Amino acid sequence: MAHLEIEFKTLLDKKTFDRLKVTYFVNASLISQENIYIDTDDFDLRRNRMMLRVRVIGKTHMMTLKKPVSGGILEFDGTIEEPINSNLLKQMPQNIADELNVHHIDISALKVQGRLHTERLETVVDAGLLVLDKSTYLNTVDYELEFEALAYDSGEIYFKQFLERNQIEARSDLPKSERFYRTLYKEKVE
């Protein structure tokens, strides 16, 4: 199954993160999740502007392939039965394998590149879902505000107004996966 993800985001400093947490997320339950990022050693997926991950929340393992399209990100999802292992080909949902084959990605060359742990708080607002994340990966901690919108135009307006109302300067809107891979690449080069 594929669906369109429409989200807006900005990185936060810890002080702003803490302020938003006590203002908007007091009644939110903490969700702990781990993203396991997968690519070839030559980063064939990244070169094709795609991202493959397994998100682990509790005992649920959801594999997701993301690729940019006009107006958002197209996601292909499928659950996998067991924890991720070296036999990705055997575990991969067919819809994801089919999409990778369309882009001539050698599935047998895919391997785990690393993990990112997120502590997430969510709250529903009129225009969508407001999300506050603290992510830890590769000796890095960052803080992020996300807004998952129902429609692009109204979502963009809501997010900009939310930032203005809360005196938040928009910073990097790079996805977690991109921040992870940039840090990984930097570590490999140094």
For residues 101-107, give the mean pLDDT.
Answer: 94
- State yes or no: pLDDT of 29 exceeds 70: yes
Q: What is the 3-state secondary structure (H, E, C) of the chain?
A: CEEEECEEEEEECHHHHHHHHHHHCCCCCCEEEEEEEEECCCCHHHHCCCEEEEEEECCEEEEEEEEEECCEEEEEEEEECCCCCCCHHHHCCHHHHHHHHHCCCCHHHCEEEEEEEEEEEEEEECCEEEEEEEEEECCEEEEEEEEEECCHHHHHHHHHHHHHHCCCCCCCCCCHHHHHHHHHHHHHHC
- At residue 188, the pLDDT reads 67
Euclidean distance between CA atoms 172 and 75, whole angstroms: 22
Q: Are 173 and 160 in contact (CB under 8 A)?
A: no
- At residue 187, the pLDDT reads 72
Euclidean distance between CA atoms 9 and 129, whole angstroms: 12
DSSP 8-state assignment for residue 13: -
For residues 158-178, give the mean pLDDT.
Answer: 94
- At residue 106, the pLDDT reads 93
The better pLDDT of the pair 83, 150 is held by 150
User: Where do the domains of the chain lie, and which CATH numbers do they carry?
Assistant: 2-189 (2.40.320.10)
- State yes or no: pLDDT of 189 exceeds 60: no
Q: If 0-12 CB within 10 Å is exposed, 13-18 middle and 19+ buried, where does residue 70 land?
A: exposed
Question: What type of residue sits at position 169?
Answer: E
